[in-house]
A = this chain, B = another copy of it.
Amino acid sequence: MKFNYNFKNIKESYLFAEVANRTETYRKANPDKKILKLGIGDVTLPLAPSVIEALHGAVDDMSRQQTFKGYGPYEGYDFLRESIREYYRSNGVELAMEEIFVSDGAKSDLGNILDIFAKENTVLVPDPVYPVYVDTNEMAGRKVIYADATDENGFLPAPDYKIDADVIYICSPNNPTGAAYTKAQLKEWVDYANAKGAVILYDAAYECFITDENLARSVFQIDGAETCAIEFCSFSKTAGFTGTRCGYTIVPKCLEHEGFNANKMWLRRQATKFNGVPYIVQKGAAAVFSERGQSEIRKNLAYYKRNAELIANSMDTLGIRYTGGKNSPYIWLKCPDGFKSWEFFDYLLSGAQVVGTPGAGFGRNGEGFFRLTAFGSEETTREAVFRIENLLKK
């Protein structure tokens, strides 16, 4: 038996695991210090009351033989897929029901979708990048090339027709940089993908933070995307589902190539390697789309946006350059005083007991940058900002 030797190409430790390890080591050595975490993009507000109600109702359904649910449809229950379709419609995007697949989160499907693509594809990812895009492809032995996202292009690389890419990852609003593509910029990528016969894997996990009308909330708002894009979205950030696990993946019916149909292949993949998302969770997710759910969710998003503003304002005060903070829960800052990313991580942890995420963990171009997130409690965020200002003003 042979293990998958491609695992040799990926680092043993996953970025956030390394952040957790260093934090834990510091905590053990300094048990009296209170550590404030603005590192991983994890939410802190409880689930909305309408979601909680729906979850309780679904648990009750599971307690009675008449309403009990066994295996559900691989692609998710219609009651949830209908709501997702309505949501897209409100953003000007018409989807067929068969194009909507309920998932246990954007991360899972961003990795799993690779099952429908051959090993012999060149994968283009931005640098810096959410590590999952790179690691999942390296595990499968695919060639990964990078599009530089830098200060110069506002961390929003444009397509380069001299480069032949087959599978292109775009995350907008971006993790980790917080930068977001306008519809016009995204159209350039869609045109490139159609011209090259490439596919765009579009990570829209942070679309709910967009307020600017010029920015794309979905790749399918762009003409031509239906023949070249798959979109991944999540309730994690929209509705605080990081620990409740639900998302959705849109695979257009007209994404076809050499006799293969992406939509049919994905259904086949899911029917074979997945058994759907818990009924209880899908009921909770559907409540997010109710009128009351939407109003509750907007309050939560406003709360995180205020946190982002607090951090952004503090960076302004300190004269530190950053992207994000608007239309995004992330603040991507240039480390002050020539600090490298992990140096700044240790400096912030030991000096202010604030945990962020080192930009270098997201790629070569991330070196010298640092990511803070708006997902902490307001209290944590205020205290962290206060400590950071004290430390860096010195």
Contacts and interface: CB of A to CB of B under 8 A. Distances in A.
A197 B117 contact: no
Contacts of A121: 1-2
B115 A4 contact: yes
B139 A269 contact: yes
B264 A12 contact: yes
Contact of A43 (B70, B111, B140, B198): B70
A271 B105 CA distance: 13
B104 A104 contact: yes
B115 A139 contact: yes
A132 interface: yes
B105 A243 contact: no
A153 interface: no
A295 interface: no
A341 B197 CA distance: 44
A65 B377 contact: yes
A95 to B, nearest CB: 21
Contact of A243 (B10, B14, B71, B240): B71
Interface string A51-84: 0100110011011110011111000000000000
Given A14-B268, A45-B68, A265-B3, A274 B243 contact: no
Given A46-B68, A62-B46, A71-B243, A136 B52 contact: no
A5 interface: yes
Interface residues of A, number: 81
A245 interface: yes
Contacts of A279: 243-244
Contacts of A107: 273-275
B46 A63 contact: yes
A2 B120 contact: yes
Interface in A270-319: 271-281
A237 to B, nearest CB: 11
Contacts of A70: 42-44, 240, 242-243
A265 B11 CA distance: 11
A259 to B, nearest CB: 9
Given A2-B121, A118-B5, A167-B1, A280 B68 contact: no
A199 interface: yes
Kindly list the 9 A-B residue pairs having the minimum CB-CB distance in the complex, ordered from nearest.
Answer: A111-B273, A3-B260, A42-B70, A2-B118, A1-B166, A69-B243, A70-B242, A52-B63, A46-B68
23 contacts: A1-B197, A2-B257, A3-B262, A5-B260, A7-B260, A7-B268, A10-B268, A14-B268, A42-B71, A44-B65, A44-B70, A45-B65, A52-B63, A55-B62, A55-B280, A65-B377, A70-B243, A72-B243, A105-B275, A111-B273, A132-B272, A244-B280, A278-B280
